[in-house]
């Protein structure tokens, strides 16, 4: 059964991959051996990117040591359209050399800012944006910026004079710069396909986790079958020994393995999703050798008593102590699916629970069901709902995180991106799932941070989440305990 612990991990994984692709802002490099048109086009193109940043409330400064700083706006105090496009642009490493090269342009904007900022705020486009109560889709943001640049900012007399003061100015270069700007913004805004892919990947990864559960049960069947083949081959070799001709069949006649192979749920799943380890003879042979060398196997084979409980306990002990932690299994799982090694601990625990179910079933084996994929419909919907909430409000949650970082001892520039993703997912859960206690959310995402990120990530995530919870409770946004 896929529980919420695993679902949270999957959502964090998929959100990390999705946001990583969405944080890429592909800035067009300078052309080789440029003509005057191309030289001016690239210069104006860079200046338009800086105008976007400036009018989103970002401030570019150089300190006394000439070190560049890009200061993000405080969203609650900013009258500018603070958008995901500007946020992504501000963190792009390629922007810094552009800012240095265009420093005189930035300084020339300073005395003009009051006029063009006022014009922007009075524009119909900007007012329509500010009336929106929900965050824009990214393609809407792209249209916003293309319209603001053309119809407001480039029509400002001060900016127009500044643009035309470039000795390389040409009309062809001017139009090419706008085309380049549009292409860059549109490329970033092409989010629909990547979002669909991320949602699909979340579903696939959960399907694969459930497949792993069945695959681990099938492994026991195939290991037993391999041992059965070995016994048969030994009987028919050229000079079989007495033991070869009279083998101990207890292992291959194990009642638990037979019950799993004949289980209606197992048969139905295998019919829909064929699984077999038969093609991986190397892994089977290595694992079977380890099993037969173990004291668990030897004690079982020496015991004359055989029943469902003891047969089940054999595989419980073998799986827990021999199979689950073996390098052979880890390598095989990694080869079969990129998801499986992360899923093994949780799905392995459900394999052990399943074995116990059979051990305690007595004679009523037909009534034993395998674990369902999800406990209930709420768990089935939990992953997609959590992912969609984290994506839809990612900008808001990031701003909340940034507000907590201000004045703290944590350096935002040095934070692991995974830590930010974990925090955003945790905030999505805090605000969108009222039935989940806050302490559960904090504990679960602290564990995820300890597993996936840096040595100090768990401590960081715990401290940040409690601070965010207190802040949300104080302003009435969060009311649950």
347-361 pLDDT, tens digit each = 999 999 999 999 998
Give pLDDT, residue 375: 93
292-304 residues labelled b (16+ CB within 10 A) or e (exposed): eebebbeebeeee
Length of the chain: 481
273-293 pLDDT, tens digit each = 999 999 999 999 999 999 999
162-213 pLDDT, tens digit each = 999 999 999 999 999 999 999 999 888 776 667 888 999 999 999 999 999 9
Which helix (H) or strand (E) is 126 found in, with range?
helix 124-131
Q: What value does the mean pLDDT of the chain take?
A: 90
Residue 390: exposure state from Cβ atoms within 10 A (0-12, 13-18, ≥19)? buried
Give pLDDT, residue 79: 44
Give pLDDT, residue 76: 44
Which helix (H) or strand (E) is 88 found in, with range?
helix 84-90
Per 3-state DSSP, the chain is made up of helix, strand and coil in percentages (nearest 5) of: 70, 0, 30
Distance, in Å, from the CA atom of 203 to the CA atom of 360, rounded to the nearest integer, reads 33
List the structure tokens of 189.
């805004």
Distance, in Å, from the CA atom of 323 to the CA atom of 287, rounded to the nearest integer, reads 7
Distances (CA, A) of 201 to 3, 14, 204, 270, 455: 18, 7, 5, 22, 28
List the structure tokens of 269.
């799943």
The 3-state DSSP class for residue 29 equals coil
Residues of the chain short of pLDDT 50, as ranges, are 76-81
Rounded (10°) CA dihedral 375, 381, 384, 387: -80
Give pLDDT, residue 34: 85
Give pLDDT, residue 187: 84
Distance, in Å, from the CA atom of 394 to the CA atom of 87, rounded to the nearest integer, reads 12
Give pLDDT, residue 85: 85
List the structure tokens of 248.
């101990």
List the structure tokens of 31.
């052309």
Which residues sit opposite 60 in a β-bridge? 70
Distance, in Å, from the CA atom of 462 to the CA atom of 446, rounded to the nearest integer, reads 6
Question: Do 5 and 383 meet the contact criterion of CB atoms below 8 Å apart?
Answer: no
The verdict on pTM exceeding 0.95 is no
């Amino acid at each position: 059964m896929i529980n919420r612990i695993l679902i949270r991990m999957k959502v964090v994984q998929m959100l990390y991959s999705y946001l990583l692709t969405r944080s890429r802002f592909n800035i067009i490099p300078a052309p080789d051996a440029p003509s005057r048109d191309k030289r001016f086009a690239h210069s104006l193109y860079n200046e338009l990117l800086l105008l976007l940043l400036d009018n989103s409330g970002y401030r570019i400064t150089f300190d006394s040591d000439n070190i560049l700083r890009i200061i993000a706006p405080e969203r609650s105090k900013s009258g500018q359209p603070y958008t995901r496009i500007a946020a992504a642009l501000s963190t792009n490493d390629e922007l810094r050399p552009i800012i240095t090269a265009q420093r005189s342009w930035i300084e020339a904007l300073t005395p003009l800012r009051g006029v063009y900022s006022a014009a922007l705020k009075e524009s119909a486009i900007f007012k329509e944006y500010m009336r929106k109560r929900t965050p824009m889709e990214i393609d809407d943001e792209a249209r916003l910026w293309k319209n603001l640049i053309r119809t407001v900012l480039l029509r400002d007399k001060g900016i127009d004079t500044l643009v035309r003061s470039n000795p390389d100015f040409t009309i062809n270069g001017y139009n090419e710069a706008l085309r380049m700007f549009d292409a860059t913004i549109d490329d970033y805004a092409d989010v629909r396909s990547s979002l669909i892919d991320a949602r699909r990947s979340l579903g696939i990864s959960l399907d694969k986790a459930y497949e792993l559960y069945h695959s681990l049960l099938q492994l026991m069947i195939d290991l037993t079958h391999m041992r059965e083949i070995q016994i048969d081959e030994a009987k028919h070799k050229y000079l079989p020994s007495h033991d070869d001709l009279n083998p101990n069949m207890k292992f291959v006649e194990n009642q638990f393995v037979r019950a799993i192979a004949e289980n209606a749920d197992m048969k139905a799943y295998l019919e829909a999703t064929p699984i077999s380890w038969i093609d991986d003879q190397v892994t089977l042979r290595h694992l079977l050798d380890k099993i037969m060398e173990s004291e668990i196997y030897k004690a079982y084979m020496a015991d004359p008593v055989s029943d469902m409980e003891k047969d089940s306990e054999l595989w419980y002990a073998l799986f827990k102590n021999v199979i689950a932690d073996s390098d052979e299994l880890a390598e095989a799982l990694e080869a079969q699916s990129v998801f499986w090694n992360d899923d093994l601990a949780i799905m392995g625990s459900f394999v052990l629970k399943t074995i116990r179910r059979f051990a305690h079933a007595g004679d009523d084996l037909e009534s034993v069901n395998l674990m369902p994929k999800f406990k209930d419909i709420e768990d089935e919907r939990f992953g997609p709902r959590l992912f969609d909430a984290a994506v839809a409000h990612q900008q808001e949650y990031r701003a909340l995180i940034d507000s907590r970082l201000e004045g703290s001892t944590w350096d935002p520039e040095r934070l692991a991106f995974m830590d930010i993703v974990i925090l955003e997912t945790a905030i999505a859960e805090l605000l969108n799932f009222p039935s989940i206690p806050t302490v559960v959310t904090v504990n679960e995402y602290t564990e995820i941070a300890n597993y996936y990120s840096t040595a100090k990530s768990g401590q960081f995530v715990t401290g940040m989440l409690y601070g965010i919870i207190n802040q949300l409770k104080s302003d009435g946004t969060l009311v649950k305990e």
